């Protein structure tokens, strides 16, 4: 099975290149969406330092429903437009939140979370779910994380 030891000193571009390579290798040829999300959620938890939650919400009947993740148990259903995840799913745009306490409507599934990035997964222009990463550090995520996670979402769109 896939084995990886992230280099904490590596530039983020290297980290996300390796993450995409790993995600591609682990999902290619596999049609089961749950298996693919589960493995990628675990990969994110391994690759991204200082994250307390990494995982997926799926858009089901116009609301977000919890998918596979690495971290503590989380909120199961999130209405479109509510919280960081709901904002990303409704707008189709990544939400990069330096301080979750300053985000109107933020949903505190895990009280340790201080910053968050949520990337929509688009298939044929429509949102099918989101990738959500939470960190206990303020401003943990930046434009490099956004670019890397958006590339991951694009890779996965046809494999979920
Ligand atoms: N904080 C998110 C909810 C999901 S958890 O972080 C896993 C939000 O505001 O949408």
Is the Cβ atom of 26 under 6 angstroms away from ligand 1?
Answer: no
Domain segments of the chain as ranges: 12-156
Predicted pLDDT at 11: 87
Residue nearest to atom 5 of ligand 1 (CA): 109
Token pair belonging to 12 = 């983020």
Among the residue ranges 28-42, 85-99, 103-117, the one predicted with the least confidence is 103-117
**Per this entry, what is the length of the chain?**
160
Is the Cβ atom of 83 under 6 angstroms away from ligand 1?
Answer: yes
Work out the number of other CB atoms within 10 angstroms of the CB of residue 121: 26
Is the Cβ atom of 154 under 6 angstroms away from ligand 1?
Answer: no
Token pair belonging to 109 = 């599934």
pLDDT digits (tens, 9 = 90+) for 116-135: 999 999 999 999 999 999 99
**Domain 12-156 belongs in CATH node 3.30.450.40:** yes
Query: Could you tell me the pTM of the whole model?
Result: 0.95
């Amino acid at each position: 099975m896939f084995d990886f030891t992230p280099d904490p000193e590596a530039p983020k571009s290297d980290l996300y290149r390796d993450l995409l390579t790993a995600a591609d290798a682990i999902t290619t040829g596999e049609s089961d969406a749950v298996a693919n999300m589960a493995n990628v959620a675990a990969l994110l938890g391994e690759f991204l330092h200082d994250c307390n939650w990494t995982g997926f919400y799926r858009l089901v009947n116009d609301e977000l429903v919890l998918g596979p993740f690495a971290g503590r148990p989380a909120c199961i259903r999130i209405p479109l437009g509510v919280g960081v995840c709901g904002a990303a799913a409704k707008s189709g745009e990544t939400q990069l939140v330096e301080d979750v306490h300053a985000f109107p409507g933020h949903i505190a599934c895990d009280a340790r979370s201080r910053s968050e990035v949520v990337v929509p997964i688009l298939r044929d222009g429509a949102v099918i779910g989101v990738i959500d990463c939470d960190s206990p550090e303020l401003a943990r995520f930046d434009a490099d994380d956004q670019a890397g996670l958006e590339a991951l979402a694009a890779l996965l769109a046809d494999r979920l």
